[in-house]
Amino acid sequence: MRQTKKEIRGYLEAAEDIARAAGGILKRGFNRPPDIRLKGRIDPVTVYDLKSEKFIVRSLQKRFPQHAVLAEEGSGSGREGPYRWIIDPLDGTVDYAHGFPVYCVSIALECDGEIIAGVVYDPERQEMFSAGLDLGAHLNGKKIRVSVQSNLERALLATGFSYNIKHARRNNLGLFARMAKKAQGIRRLGSAAIDLCWLAAGRIDGFWELYLHPWDTAAGKLIVQEAGGIVTRFDGRAHSIFHMDILASNGHIHRAMQEVL
Cα-Cα-Cα-Cα dihedral of 16, 20, 21, 22, to 10°?
100
**pLDDT on residue 90:** 96
Beta bridge partners of 105: 121
The rounded distance, in Å, linking the Cα atoms of 52 and 71 is 11
Residues 6+ apart with CB under 8 A from 17: none
Q: Which CATH number fits domain 152-260: 1.10.10.10, 3.40.190.80, 1.10.3210.10, 3.40.50.920?
A: 3.40.190.80
Task: Note the pTM of the prediction, 2 decimals.
Answer: 0.94
DSSP 3-state percent helix, strand, coil across the chain (nearest 5): 35, 25, 40
Question: Does residue 36 come out as left (phi exceeding 0), alpha (psi in the -120 to 50 range) or beta?
Answer: beta
What are the tens digits of pLDDT across the range 105-147? 999 999 999 999 999 999 999 999 999 999 999 999 999 999 9
What SS3 state is found at 146? Answer: coil
Q: So where are the chain's domains? A: 5-143, 152-260
Q: What angle do CA 158, 128, 112 make, to 5 degrees?
A: 85
Inform me whether the pLDDT recorded for 166 exceeds 90: no
Residue 36: the pLDDT is 60
pLDDT in tens, 60-91: 999 999 999 998 777 666 667 899 999 999 99
Question: 5-143, superfamily in CATH?
Answer: Fructose-1,6-Bisphosphatase, subunit A, domain 1 (3.30.540.10)
For the chain, percent of residues with pLDDT exceeding 70:
93
